[in-house]
């Protein structure tokens, strides 16, 4: 029985990239031998075991054969006779098909180290095209390692395009697509994920609402980058740069979906794009089974982001109603996330990436002010329904006072 560290831990160790999980492959063993040593079986489709102490995953060396559609359409074979090379060749990329033994010796039968040095994401074998999930994985790796200068090999893009055209991507479950996308969104260059998917034709299949933004023009005086798709990716990169949450990043990704629905005779203006965006944002969220909180913020940003940009010109009552819709009294964190997403939208424009966005701090100051006004602050003779009415009145007055203090006197909402 021989044990090797494989996959991401070896790749990232060689690259000098931080890693946390360790996966091992076991050659020359049976499930019974591992169980006898205290390993706990957890794999449903093939034998995977947890180490009795470290809880790291140990998988028996295996081969696989395509037997159906989609991510689960495979038959696996494990036996003591399956070699390390047999196991590594079924992996997706050469940089993921490197193994290391306990003594630190590297086993690299498919030249993964060369591709690491040349910063290339390349498939190990033509069996790559049998698994549609690999299209998303390659795009995610491209996002993760973009800062190192990695790119996808042309022949690998060709196989990804083949998968996209085959209809296999439709076999992916919503859960798998969302899981890979959520992980990609948390990378420092999440925009690369969507750009790679677009380059192989997968974006229009998995995210047609985002793909539709490309080629749609905007007014150059407001959007020097002009193209709605480019603006979306620039905005997303702002969210990554700031280290914002998954919810904020997703909201930024879908905030302008309504612009793809603007009638051609209205272009490059996008009147009512916020309202038009509600349906496609809802469609994306429902199709991918996006978590409820993530969906709620995305819808709020889609519908209300222009009001955030216009915050200084809104009447105090309008600002209060905006904050009410964002559930300011019960969920201040949603207001913070909303403001962050709107800031990314404002800065996701060519030449305006470092532009100040004072609206953000203004709305956060307003939020603190209205949340500080309590029923206990009202006169004791105010009773029943009058309490709620007076609280609203006091909060609107406080917003107006704060706005005046800051020097924003316009009421052209």
Q: Which residues are annotated as a binding site?
A: 8, 11, 21, 23, 91, 137, 140
Annotated binding site for CTP: 8, 11, 91, 137, 140
Q: How many CA atoms lie within 13 A of 312 on its CB side?
A: 12
Q: How far is CA 72 from the centre of its chain?
A: 23
Cα-based distances in Å from 46 to 41, 239, 343: 10, 39, 47
d(CA 108, CA 97): 7
Annotated binding site for ATP: 8, 11, 91, 137, 140
Q: Are strands 151-152 and 120-121 parallel, antiparallel or unpaired?
A: parallel
d(CA 111, CA 339): 47
Annotated binding site for Mg(2+): 21, 23
d(CA 4, CA 105): 10
d(CA 93, CA 77): 21
d(CA 352, CA 220): 12
Cis check for the bond before 407: say yes or no (omega within 30 of 0).
no
């Amino acid at each position: 029985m021989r044990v090797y560290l494989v996959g991401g831990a070896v790749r990232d160790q060689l690259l000098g990239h931080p890693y946390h999980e360790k996966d091992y492959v076991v050659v020359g063993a049976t499930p019974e031998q591992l169980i006898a040593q205290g390993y706990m079986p957890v794999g449903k489709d093939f034998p995977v075991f947890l180490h009795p102490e470290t809880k790291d995953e140990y998988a028996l060396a295996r081969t696989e054969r395509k037997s159906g559609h989609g991510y689960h359409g495979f038959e696996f074979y494990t036996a003591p006779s399956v070699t390390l090379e047999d196991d590594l060749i079924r992996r997706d990329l050469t940089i993921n098909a490197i193994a290391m033994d306990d003594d630190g010796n590297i086993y690299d039968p498919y030249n993964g180290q060369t591709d690491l040095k040349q910063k290339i994401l390349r498939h190990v074998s033509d069996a790559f095209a049998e698994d549609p999930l690999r299209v998303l994985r390659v795009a995610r790796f491209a996002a993760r390692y973009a800062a190192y200068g990695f790119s996808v090999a042309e022949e690998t893009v060709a196989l990804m395009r083949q998968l996209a055209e085959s209809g296999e991507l439709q076999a992916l479950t919503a859960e798998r697509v969302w899981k890979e996308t959520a992980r990609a969104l948390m990378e420092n260059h999440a925009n690369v994920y969507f750009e790679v998917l677009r380059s192989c034709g997968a974006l229009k299949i998995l995210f047609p609402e985002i793909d539709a933004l490309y080629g749609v023009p905007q007014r150059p005086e407001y959007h020097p980058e002009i193209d709605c798709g480019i603006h979306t990716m620039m905005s997303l990169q702002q969210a990554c740069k700031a280290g914002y949450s998954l919810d904020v990043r997703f909201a930024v990704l879908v905030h302008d979906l309504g612009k793809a629905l603007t009638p051609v005779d209205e272009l490059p203006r996008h009147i009512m794009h916020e309202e038009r965006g509600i349906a496609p944002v809802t469609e994306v969220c429902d199709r991918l089974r996006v978590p409820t909180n993530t969906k709620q913020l995305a819808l709020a940003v889609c519908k209300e982001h222009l009001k955030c940009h216009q915050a200084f010109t809104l009447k105090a009552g309008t600002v209060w109603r905006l904050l009410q819709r964002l559930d300011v009294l019960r969920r201040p964190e949603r207001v913070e996330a909303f403001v962050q997403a709107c800031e990314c939208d404002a800065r996701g424009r060519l030449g305006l990436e470092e532009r100040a966005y004072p609206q953000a701090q203004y709305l956060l100051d307003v939020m603190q002010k209205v949340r500080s006004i309590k029923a206990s602050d009202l006169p004791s003779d105010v009773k029943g329904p009058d309490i709620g009415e007076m609280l609203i009145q006091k909060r609107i007055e406080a917003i107006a006072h704060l706005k005046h203090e800051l020097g924003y006197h316009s009421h052209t909402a």
